[in-house]
Structure 1
């Protein structure tokens, strides 16, 4: 007998809430993501230069190149050689809106939970044993939470150590979702 998506509302919500708490513990107490970012030695001067350009919030690259054909331009090649080469995320001025960001993180986990539950309903049956549910949901959850961070190290220069930390997070979230779904799987 198949399992309906609606019958999984409790593991979806609880899995999302439990992952949100796990994320909070990782970032507020364990703090291994503090190593994700480094401080520029001339932060004030760089901030002044960026502020002078008055950029709107967004993602910027430098040197800027919209088309690979431009890469043959000697002036652009010189900019790349001279450096710096980078990407800059510009946010709205002011303190981060933590309430809004925390709600968005919770919604991220819940929406992921719906998608994970959908795959689980396609691959698992009513009354499936704990380990079958755990393994299936954990694998899908790891893909949902982790695999997409790898291209940021491949293409955007994020250090591989950052990628590893995010994959550790994904493994933790996957185990949380796997255990929650296995515990509450309809029998």
Structure 2
């Protein structure tokens, strides 16, 4: 078995490679530009919702408060039929697009996935293992970390399946980078 400490360089480089690739994908390539739509009559919507002064968080409308009896009630069903029915995330006011904190969290997440890929690979492939074995185990683990949790948002919160598919494709790219770096730098 290979120690995780001996894999610090591929862990770091894999995390950096995914971080840089995701930056290129989201800043320069067009496939995520239509992931989120604006609401019609945005100014009117903001004027209507603004006075509620909602704190940052996730909301559902209408909301049954986790009560199955409320969900079965005629009043709740009428609200659902009338609409709107929505899940929404309210971000803090000010500058929610100052992305320093999110970028740091994303880099930390990239490193975490690389650590798990290293862990699985270190238990599956011995030192001096062949490139394809390392690629297979670390790549599958990285794909699980970057992509397999995404369909839950489409299943439960109705995020568009096209957005989920694009995110999973990104995850495949990231997993390939992680796997390639581990295969390249696997200890002899």
TM-score range, shorter chain: over 0.9
Query: Which residues in structure 2 correspond to 1:104-123 (within 5 Å)?
Result: 104-123=105-124
Distance 1:184 1:76 in 2: 58
Q: Report the Cα distance in structure 1 between the residues aligned to 2:49 and 2:21, rounded to whole angstroms.
A: 35
Measured in 1, the distance between the counterparts of 2:29 and 2:19 equals 14
CA distance in 2, matches of 1:68, 1:36: 32
Q: Which moved more, 1:156-165 or 1:36-45?
A: 36-45
Q: Which stretch has the larger CA shift, 133-142 or 168-177? A: 133-142
Q: Residue in 2 aligned with 1:76? A: 76
Q: Say what the alpha-carbon RMSD is for the aligned residues.
A: 0.9
**Aligned residue runs from structure 1 range 166-181, under 5 A:** 166-181=167-182
SS at match of 1:35: coil
Aligned-residue offset at 1:97: 2.1
The superposition leaves residues 30-85 of structure 1 with CA deviations (integer Å, 9 ceiling, x where unpaired) of 03111111111121122122211111100000001122221111111000000111
Equivalent residue, structure 1, for 2:138? 137
Query: What TM-score do you get using the length of structure 2 for normalisation?
Result: 0.96
Any unmatched runs of 5+ in structure 2? Answer: none
Unaligned runs of 5+ in 1: none
Q: 1:9 corresponds to which residue?
A: 8
Moved more, 166-175 or 121-130: 121-130
Q: What is the rounded CA distance, in whole Å, between the counterparts of 1:33 and 1:103 in structure 2?
A: 21
Query: Between Structure 1 and Structure 2, how many residues are aligned?
Result: 186
Q: CA deviation at 1:123?
A: 1.2
What's the TM-score once normalised by structure 1's chain length? 0.96
